[in-house]
Structure 1
Amino acid sequence: MTTLLESDEHKSLREAVSAFARSHPRATGPAESRHFWQEAGKLGYIGVSLPEAYGGGGGGVTELSLVLEEMGAAGNPLLMMIVSPAICGTVIARFGTEEQKQTWLPGIADGTRLMAFGITEPDAGSNSHRITTTARRDGATGDWLLTGRKVFISGVDIADATLVVGRTEDARTGKLKPCLFIVPRDTPGFERRQLDMELHATEKQFELTLDDVRLPADALVGDEDAGLLQLFAGLNPERIMTAAFGIGIGRYALARALDYARERTVWKTPIGAHQAIAHPLAQAHIDLELSRLMTQKAAHLYDAGDDMGAGEAANMAKYAAGEACVKAVDQAVHTLGGNGLTREFGLATLITAARVARIAPVSREMILNYVSHQTLGLPKSY
């Protein structure tokens, strides 16, 4: 499924990824998901947005979001695509030292290394200014010491390291500012606890505890004084990729519903001939296509270096795709009736998965706050 906004190269990439993803069975467990990830990495799909000098494809978020969408449309949406190459890979490529780039980017690009991202905290929620994970210098050694908690962190058990958002004290103002640190999985004091989720996904969710985790000075990514600039360099791609994630899931569900509506016959005609079935499916298709246009705009602005414009568009794209995804999945299940809840058709598990596109990485209400304040110029209530 292509659009007029795509170049011939993008259309070719979309077709290649679609063919690859559809040639693999839908991953229902960690082993299958890992195999699919590794195969995608070998073909260059995981690292398509990373610099060629470090083993990547030299593209941008535009290409990476296209890859994730087509994987999702084939039934294999990879949540870690949002985390490892899009957030962590982007931040390291833009702000990391040469040593950090050499160490991490080639493995992230070819799928042999994974990196998780730790920002959410139990008491902070959507308010990143309330993050309490702190980093302080050990004056004797120059090492960093991290202390705090994180929650709902994806894939920590399979990741080689986690890019953790902490806060350091500004010597001039005494205020805390966000900074990013690479924490290897087996670092002493870095503990994880798997959360008991009803969400059916191959990637598990974890609570992290950092108890005076000692890191070398070079674990810091970028400039200690850059603050929010570096953080949002990863968060805008996260929103764009979440939109692609939702669009892919929505397309997969819609395709299953269309096949069923064409074949299922009641009262001598296929149920898809009835407008009560056909019109909601048509609306779902329209909403997914509109979401894709906004996602493409957001990706284009980000790749062009327009961080301000990309922030607005990325939030809008994530909002639109989350709504479209939930509606498409709901209508697909409804179209199949009881069959929509059977394992055979593979739609029931998408009901909870679709909610992720609404909830994470930022709720639709916070996006509406962003648009009302930043775009429309309305006053804040908080």
Structure 2
Amino acid sequence: MATVDSTIAAGLPLVQSDEELEIRQAVARICEPFGHLHRREITDIDAADAALRSALAEHGFLAVNIGEEWGGGGLGITALTWVVEEIHAAGLFSGTIALGASVAGRLIERHGTTEQKDTWLRRLASGEVTIAFGITEPDAGLNTHRLRTELRRDGDGYRLKGQKVYTTGAVESDTILVVARFRGEDGELGLPGLALVDSDAEGFSADRIQLAEEWEERTYQTFYDDVYVAPDRLIGGEESGLAALFDGLNPERICVAAAALGYTRLALEKATAYAKERVVWKDPIGAHQAIAHPLAEAQIEHDLAMLMTQKAAALCDADAPEAGYASNIAKFAAARAANLALDRAIQTHGGNGVTAEYGLTALWWPVRAMKIAPVSEEMILNNVAQHTLGLPRSY
């Protein structure tokens, strides 16, 4: 794979390149045997997920955004969105695949030492290691200034103490990138830091959070009871943890937008196929505007969100200051598009829309959650109102 070129870094290519098409088609082929309705026939989901990850790694798709010198594809967040979108268009959940590449991979590549890059990025790209991301806390929510999980000095290393919630794939992953705050000698909590903690480390434990039965995602409340963190497990040191953290949040939101676009495509494909085949009176129901127009509107919302996601990825790859704003808007628009498309797909199917056979309700929970995580619609609106429109702060 080539490195990020000027057409991606400096502008927004509106015509799909041959390389993008090839990557999308290849990922779609890999995902097909594991796809949406096939999941019901798979008895060992963990083995299936491992096989999918292995297949993606074999073809170089686990870390397309990471530099070639570290075993990645060198194509930036732009190409990672193609991979994530295709995984979700197959009805799958990228989970730690997207988080590992978009958050952990990017942070290590930009803020890690040469030794850390060589150790972690190569293993991430090859599929040898999976990395989850732990930031949210029970009492802090989205307010990172209220994080209470702490890192305190212990000889040459550190001790990590605290708890997190909604850490996706914490138990299934090999390692967790944990956001904590340094506790100074004066006892006060200071700047945040980033620590890589193995899921089998002494002092680590996790309780699974029960989600809707149809939702296959596994998320956990995690506990860190004086877990030892060696110096080489600290990313960005004690001074640049805050800058490193925000470097990872934009790609995470862009990847959620890409995932939402994939689910939008899947919902519309199911809805249009059904509308073409289902005959109630004498014509397929798709011939009626009451069915056709709502689906057409959902397609338009998808296309608009897709453009914003492409723009956000291009700005992120170019390190443009507008990347944060664009990432928020992309996530906002894509999550709304996915929810609209899925709701209208269910409505198009009528009673069949809520049956297990057609598989639409299984998509409902992950799609609905995209309006909440990793940042809620309300906080995005707060940000736009304050920083774009110049309105008084409302929270």
Distance in 2 separating the partners of 1:150 and 1:24: 31
Unaligned runs of 5+ in 1: none
- Looking at structure 2, the residues matched to 33 and 339 of structure 1 have their Cα atoms a distance apart, in angstroms, of 28
1:98-134 superposed Cα distances (whole Å, 9 cap, x missing partner): 2221221112112221000000000001111110001
Among candidates 258, 273, 280, match of residue 244 of structure 1: 258
Amino acid in the other structure paired with 1:378 = L
Q: Which moved more, 1:372-381 or 1:20-29?
A: 20-29
Write the distance in 2 (CA, Å) between the matches of 1:69 and 1:237. 14
Which position in structure 1 is the counterpart of 2:325? 312
* Structure 2 equivalent of residue 226 of structure 1: 240
Taking only aligned residues, the RMSD between alpha carbons, in angstroms, comes to 1.8
| Alignment partners' CA distance in 2, 1:277 and 1:62 | 34
Show the 5 A alignment for 1:100-249: 100-138=116-154, 141-169=155-183, 176-198=190-212, 200-249=214-263
CA apart distance, 1:242 = 0.3
Q: C-alpha separation between the residues in 1 aligned to 2:354 and 2:50?
A: 26
Give the conservation status (yes or no) of the 8 Å contact 2:203–2:227: yes
Superposed, 1:1-382 pairs within 5 Å as 4-26=14-36, 27-28=39-40, 29-138=45-154, 141-169=155-183, 176-198=190-212, 200-306=214-320, 308-382=321-395
Quote how far apart the aligned CAs of 1:19 are: 3.2
Question: Does the residue aligned with 2:178 lie in a helix, a strand or coil?
Answer: strand
1:197-217 Cα shifts (integer Å, max 9, x gaps): 116343311001111111112
SS in 1 for 2:374: coil
- The one-letter code sitting in structure 1 at the alignment partner of 2:353 is G
Query: Aligned residues, how many?
Result: 377
CA–CA distance in 1 between the matches of 2:261 and 2:227?
38
| Deviation at residue 173 of structure 1 after TM alignment | 11
Distance 1:5 1:377 in 2: 35
Deviation at 1:53, TM superposition (A): 1.3
* TM-score, with length taken from structure 2: 0.91
1:180-227 deviations in whole A, cap 9, x for unaligned?
000011111111111111163433110011111111122110131114
Using the TM superposition, name which of 177-186 and 191-200 deviates more. Answer: 191-200
**Alpha-carbon distance between aligned partners in 2 of 1:199 and 1:325, rounded to the nearest angstrom:** 21
Amino acid of the residue matched to residue 377 of structure 1? G
Counterparts of 1:13 and 1:219 in 2: how far apart (Å)?
33
Please tell me the residue identity of whatever aligns with 2:200.
D
Identity level (%): 45
Deviates most, 165-174 or 270-279: 165-174
**1:48-67 Cα deviation digits (max 9, x unpaired):** 11111121111111000111
Whether the 8 Å contact between 1:30 and 1:203 is mirrored in structure 2 is no
* Range with bigger deviation, 17-26 or 160-169: 17-26
Unaligned 5+ segments in structure 2 are 1-12
Distance apart, 1:310 and its partner CA:
0.7
The answer to whether the 8 A contact 2:260-2:335 is kept is yes
- What is the DSSP-based 3-state SS (H/G/I as helix, E as strand, rest coil) of the residue aligned with 1:241? helix
